[in-house]
Structure 1
Amino acid sequence: MAKMLTEQDVLSDTSGEYMTPEHLDFFKRKLLQMKEELINNATQTSQHLQEQEATPDPADRATLEEEYALELRTRDRERKLLQKIEQAINRIDNGEYGYCEDTGEPIGLGRLIARPTATLSIEAQERRERLKKQYAD
Structure 2
Amino acid sequence: MNLSQIKHFKIILNTWYNKLKKKIKKQVYYIKKETDNLADPIDRASREEEFKLELYNKKRERELIKKIEITINKIKNNSFGYCELCKIEIGIKRLEANPIANLCIDCKILSEIKEKQIRQN
Q: 2:7 aligns with which of 13, 25, 35?
A: 25
Question: Any conservation in 2 of the 1:102–1:124 contact (CA below 8 Å)?
Answer: yes
What is the TM-score with the length of structure 2 in the denominator? Answer: 0.94
Secondary structure of the equivalent of 1:95?
A: coil
Cross-structure match for 2:102: 119
Cross-structure match for 2:54: 71
Cα deviation, residue 106, structure 1: 1.7
Counterpart Cα distance in 1 of 2:91 and 2:16: 20
Counterpart Cα distance in 2 of 1:72 and 1:135: 30
Listed as ranges, the gaps of 5+ residues in structure 2 are none
Deviation track 1:60-85 (CA, whole Å, cap 9, x = no partner) reads: 11111111111110010010011100
Cα deviation, residue 54, structure 1: 3.0
Higher helix share: 2
Deviation track 1:25-80 (CA, whole Å, cap 9, x = no partner) reads: 00011000011011001110111111112312121111111111111100100100
Q: 1:93 aligns with which of 76, 79, 82?
A: 76
Secondary structure of the equivalent of 2:48?
A: helix
Deviation track 1:88-110 (CA, whole Å, cap 9, x = no partner) reads: 00111111111111111221111
Question: Any conservation in 2 of the 1:108–1:121 contact (CA below 8 Å)?
Answer: yes
Counterpart Cα distance in 1 of 2:27 and 2:118: 38
Counterpart Cα distance in 1 of 2:22 and 2:11: 17
Query: How many residues in Structure 1 have an aligned counterpart in Structure 2?
Result: 119
Counterpart Cα distance in 1 of 2:97 and 2:48: 34
Counterpart Cα distance in 2 of 1:102 and 1:54: 53
- Hey, which bits of structure 1, 4+ residues long, moved more than 3 A? none
What is the TM-score with the length of structure 1 in the denominator? Answer: 0.83
Percent pairwise identity: 36
Alignment of 1:43 with 2:25, yes or no, is: yes
Alignment of 1:54 with 2:37, yes or no, is: yes
Cα deviation, residue 135, structure 1: 2.2
Secondary structure of the equivalent of 1:118?
A: coil
